[in-house]
Amino acid sequence: MRSSLLLLTLAAAACSGDPDVFADAGADAPGTDAPGTDAPSTDAPVDVDGPGARGPVTVHVLTRAGDGLPDLVATVYVADPDGTVVSQAMPDATGVVNATVAEGGSVTVRHGGGNQPVLTTVFAVGIGDELWFGRNGSNPVTTMTVALPAAAGSTRYNVRGPCVFGEGNTPTLTVQLVPGCAATVNLLAMASGGTAPVRHIVVPTVTPTAGTTLTVPGPWAAPPSMAWSASGIPVGATSISASITVLEDARITLGFVAAQTPGEPLGLTTALPAYGDSALLNVAYRSNVYYLDVRHVSPVPTSASVMVAPRVPAITSVSVGPTALWTLAGAGTPDLIAIDADELGEKGEPLGSWRFLAPPAPGSVRVPAIAGAPTPTDARARVFDTDVVPDYAALRERVGLGEWAGTIPPSAPLFAQQSSMY
């Protein structure tokens, strides 16, 4: 749906738990007891006529380690809209499976095996789709040393920047360097903890180089304060919190908590370093359900006023069996629903996880009949709306990577993201 906002609504069928958590899968090769045959190549005949139309789909499978490498031990399942699995295959040396899919069918990738498989299914697949699964990232990760000046009274130090991250208890840090950013970047160093206030140093125009040492001169400085406000919080809301996350080159660096002055609008004050090219303004509250509103602004503001009233439909129920079912209440036409379903053991231990990604309407999908897949005993769900793309069809190429949530599009100077949980 196109609007001026990027919106996310999150609802949990259980009253606790982080909806983004999957049980980490082991590296065991997946079992071969699921029904189906080897995936056909894209040279297979294509039937594009009528409701039973079939045609090619290309599936790229990366590991879940965030290293950007192909997962050669994953299994890809293709199912018809009624949940019948029609083919399965393991990726080739480049992490690709070429298959044939029914229009409106689904593609599932199973990562890992053993006792904790992790499955992700993309529904309402179109003929000719090119889908991605796993976790995007860069490889290899290298390191360098950053030597900061000691900050009296501080016990924690960190350095952040595009593709640069490191933290520790001493001023000399080993920081990680990840490929994919500009050769020259601006860094932010922070000192915190102990008895001293938070302090920072902006380190401009650095060329991070593996194996080298960067010595950062002082002095440390206290971040200046930014005054901003949030309106639209429902009367009687509780558990109100706010923060600002600083970004550089559309990449998250650090978050800074805001002090609150009660009222309407809610008064907020944040100690914010003079760093970054944009920021996320985050406001959370509970009003029957939990809401989190995130607004991306560019450039980093010196003041701001944000409207955080609920404005997308909430999920009022969700269940997963042979059919995944959900209901929505409230205004708005979201682009995507994501359901995270877990199988838990007698002591609550994770036995497997399954993520379903589908268009929000009509409120149900048939779950692929994959032998050995988790049998969900717990489910959480969220709906998502964005102005970056027009609809679910434009999202589904990369939803299997999780890039529909938390991604900061550099071309979007303003978006908002909202979630609700019960």
Say which CATH topology domain 225-307 has. Answer: Immunoglobulin-like (2.60.40)
Burial of 208 (0-12, 13-18, 19+ CB in 10 A): buried
CA distance 304 to 266: 12
CA dist list (Å): 331 to 69, 142, 291? 41, 47, 15
- Residue 288 backbone zone (phi > 0: left; psi -120 to 50: alpha; other: beta): left
CA dist list (Å): 279 to 162, 228, 233, 417, 419? 14, 13, 21, 13, 18
pTM: 0.77
Tokens of 327: 């209901």
**CB of 223 within 8 A of CB of 272?**
yes
Strand (E) or helix (H) holding 393: helix 392-395
Q: Buried (b) or exposed (e) across 387-415, using 16+ Cβ within 10 A? A: bebebbeebbbbbbbbebbeebeeebeeb
Cis peptide before 117 (omega within 30 of 0): no
Query: What is the structure's pLDDT at 21?
Result: 29
CA distance 68 to 123: 24
Query: What is the structure's pLDDT at 405?
Result: 55
The residues, any chain, with a CB within 8 Å of residue 311's CB and separated by 6 or more, are 5, 7, 331, 332, 418
Q: Which residue has the tokens 């404005």?
A: 311
Q: Which residue has the tokens 């890809």?
A: 76
CA dist list (Å): 177 to 141, 235, 289? 6, 46, 40
Query: What is the structure's pLDDT at 312?
Result: 76
CA distance 203 to 161: 10
Query: What is the structure's pLDDT at 391?
Result: 84
Query: What is the structure's pLDDT at 412?
Result: 44
CA distance 399 to 358: 10
- For residue 206, the cross-strand partners are 185
**CB of 262 within 8 A of CB of 391?**
no
Query: What is the structure's pLDDT at 410?
Result: 44
Residue 401 DSSP code: G
Residue 400 DSSP code: G
Count CA within 13 A, CB hemisphere, residue 104.
Answer: 10
Q: Mean pLDDT for each 10-residue chunk of the chain (422 residues)? A: 37 32 28 34 41 89 88 96 96 97 97 84 97 84 94 95 94 92 92 90 94 95 95 93 90 89 95 91 84 84 91 85 92 86 87 93 95 88 77 89 60 51 48
Count CA within 13 A, CB hemisphere, residue 273.
Answer: 26
Query: What is the structure's pLDDT at 239?
Result: 94
Residue ranges per structural domain of the chain = 7-136+312-401+413-421, 142-215, 225-307
Residue 155 DSSP code: -
